[in-house]
Amino acid sequence: MKNCARLPLLFSLFLLMPTLLLSACGGGENNVDQGNRDGTLHWGNGTEPQSLDPHIATGVPEHNIITALMEGLVAKDSKTLAPKAGVAEYWTISEDGRVYTFKLRENARWSNGDPHNAHDYVWSWWRALQPALGNLYAYMYFSIDNAKEYYEGTITDFDQVGIKALDDFTLQVTLSNPTPYFLQLLDHYSLYPVHRGTVEKFGTADERGTRWTYEGNHVGNGAFQLSAWKINRRITVQRNPFYWNADHVGLNQIVFYPTENAVSEERMFRAGQLHRTSSVPSDKIPSYLETQNSSLRISPYLGTYFYRINTSVPHLQSKLVRRALALTIDREAITKNILKGGQIPAYAFTPPGTMGYYPESNLRFDPETARQLLAEAGYLNGKDFPTTEILYNTNESHRKIAVAIQQMWKKHLNIDIKLLNQEWKVYLDSESIGNYEISRAAWIGDYVDPNNFLDMFLCNGGNNRTGWCNAEYDYLIGDIAPTVKTHAERLAVFGRAEKLLMDELPVIPIYTYTSISLVNQAVKNYPSNILNKANYSEIYLQAEPQQMPLTEDQY
């Protein structure tokens, strides 16, 4: 930095500030070296979680922590994502594919030592289906016989729902239709069990936001237990001695850091404060790629970045307007010139290739047609189009995309757009109560099936949040898709539904994610997969030996 010397004193102090702050918290050995020795994984988690209650949380940062604290009946192989034994030791599936019988481990325990058995699941799933709880993921249960009816109140007797504890360690689940992805669902946090005694100690079963998830109160059944939750600083989980597979857990402790700023996160990584970052600033990706830095990890990610449109806002009710907006986003320019991390422009909602599903699309970048559509909607050359607000959660890359799109819409449609950023929890609230016009959103696959991307837009889907409701769409996804016999037929139904969705455009897909993070070389047994799901119980830390490793021909 030769030109530093010429800068005025004040200014160079300003430049030094972040460096001083960072070095101030170092104090000798850095986190990573120390963590490698005592088995502590330092994990950049992106943001402060909204909640650690598995039946309330909806986001990826929450997911990262909850999966460390809890485990489902079935787990997933961290490489292939194939179902493998979790709390259930084994299971059988009836011939018609509707009845699943799970045999639970007799040595499974809650983190306070309480026995963990089939009744926990019956109670937890009952809780998750209480409408008062406001579980946005309740529809994940709807493949279970009568679960939807119970949730909607047409049945009031929970005994009629297809969830039965045959004995202490046998759980039988009856589905209304054979559901090919049902085992995958069991690994999703919305179907995790919660500890009844703890939940009821701090409130009623269907009360939101009670203190049961707080430091000192939380009881889980996963490989780790919550040991400290310092708001906006860190969440620490440590090895759970009661976990059934505790002997094979490689880590003693995981510390999750809610660093929202990707730039600071990357600096923390370089300063040896983190083993893994939740993202990489897009401007730094090219230099990492150039130097072939082995910490950079880019892999396919089953997720779509999109803009939600609040279809109850008067001027956004028109399909023509939404289409005009969708046609004037130059997705190639965004992925190539702003994101730079190998993301794929998205012209349909479901990521292409999900279980062999390739959605058709009539979206493209076409400002000419868009202007015509906007004129047809009554806004010739953008005249009288109300100033519209794009809401995003505070994050550098969301801001950049919003700034680029703001200008694309201004340039091609001559409409004025304002940007509004909110902190993660506030943003989630605004979005779910519909207090927005257009909002940045992302959907990351919970399980690998197109259904996961399409069933959120059912009229009553908790994650719909657009106010869009289409009877034909509900019929296709809710009634037809679950009942068709072959995989090809299913995909065809999804194709029809998605075409409808892309015709109406309550959401504007922008790009298909790649998961981009920096991972320290000492983190072992952490393969990438398209759900970007970490299996913390398998990860272990092993620092590279200091001397140069032998090259291959020396062996």
Using an 8 Å Cβ cutoff, are 393 and 427 in contact?
A: yes
Q: Which stretch binds another protein (CB under 8 A): 119-127, 230-238, 330-338, 478-486?
A: 330-338
For the bound state, the minimum distance from the C-beta of residue 8 to another protein, rounded and expressed in Å, comes to 5
Q: Which element (helix H / strand E) includes 124?
A: helix 118-128
Helix 487-504 and helix 319-327: axis angle, to 10°?
100
For another protein, the closer of residues 11 and 475 by Cβ is: 11
| Helical spans, DSSP H, in 261-395 | 262-270, 285-290, 319-327, 331-333, 367-376
Of positions 119, 400, 425, 496, contacts another protein by CB under 8 A: 400
396 binds another protein (CB under 8 A): yes
Nearer to another protein, 361 or 422 (CB): 422
Which residue, 387 or 551, has its beta carbon nearer to another protein?
A: 387
Q: Which is nearer to another protein, 177 or 422 (CB)?
A: 422
Query: Is residue 402 close enough to count as binding another protein by CB under 8 A?
Result: yes
> Which element (helix H / strand E) includes 227?
strand 224-230
Among 186, 334, 507, 523, the residue binding another protein under the rule CB under 8 A is 334
271 lies in the site for another protein, by CB under 8 A: no
Q: Does the protein bind another protein through residue 291 (CB under 8 A)?
A: no
The H or E element spanning position 83 is strand 83-85
Residue 285 or 469 with smaller CB distance to another protein: 285
Sign of CA dihedral 387, 392, 394, 396: negative
Using rule CB under 8 A, residue 474 touches another protein: no
Integer Cα distance of 236 and 445 in angstroms: 26
Tokens found for residue 69: 């604290």
Q: Residue 15 or residue 543: which is nearer to another protein going by CB? A: 15
Contact flag: residue 8 with another protein (CB under 8 A): yes
Among 394, 432, 460, 525, binds another protein (CB under 8 A): 394
| Region binding another protein by CB under 8 A among candidate stretches 186-194, 195-203, 279-287, 470-478 | 279-287
> Which residue, 210 or 422, is less far from another protein as judged by CB?
422
Q: How far is the CB of 391 from another protein (least distance, A)?
A: 10
Q: Residue 399 interacts with another protein (CB under 8 A)?
A: yes
Does residue 26 interact with another protein by CB under 8 A? no
Shortest distance, position 198 Cβ to another protein, whole Å: 35
List the alpha helices (DSSP H) in 436-513: 450-454, 471-474, 487-504
Per CB under 8 A, the list member of 35, 86, 281, 445 interacting with another protein is 281
Q: Measuring CA to CA, which residue among 104, 87, 78 is closest to residue 243?
A: 87
Alpha helices in 131-260 (DSSP H): 147-152, 182-185, 196-201
Q: Does 295 bind another protein (CB under 8 A)?
A: no
Instruction: Encode 62-74 in three state secondary structure.
Output: HHHHHHHHCCCCE
- Which of 177, 421 has the CB closer to another protein? 421
Q: How many residues bind another protein (CB under 8 A)?
A: 36
Give the C-alpha separation, 235 to 519, whole Å. 19
Shortest distance (Å) from residue 366 CB to another protein: 17
Closest approach, Cβ 302 to another protein, in A, equals 27
In the block, residue with structure tokens 């708001």: 231
Contacts 24+ apart (CB under 8 A), 226-229: 226/52, 226/69, 227/253
> Binder to another protein among 60, 85, 228, 338 (CB under 8 A)?
338
Residues 407-446 that bind another protein (CB under 8 A): 407, 410-411, 418-422
If phi > 0 it is left, if psi is from -120 to 50 it is alpha, else beta; for residue 494 that is alpha
Contact 187, 120 (CB under 8 A): no
H or E element: which one contains 397?
helix 396-413
Helix (H) or strand (E) holding 518: strand 507-518
What is d(CA 297, CA 230) in angstroms, rounded to the nearest whole number? 29
If you ran DSSP here, which 8-state letter would residue 221 be given?
A: -
The one segment of 7-15, 41-49, 97-105, 518-526 that binds another protein by CB under 8 A: 7-15
Nearer to another protein among residue 219 and residue 329 (C-beta): 329
| Residues near another protein (CB under 8 A) | 1, 3, 7-8, 10-11, 14-15, 18, 261, 263, 281, 283-284, 287, 330, 333-334, 337-338, 394, 396, 399-400, 402-404, 406-407, 410-411, 418-422
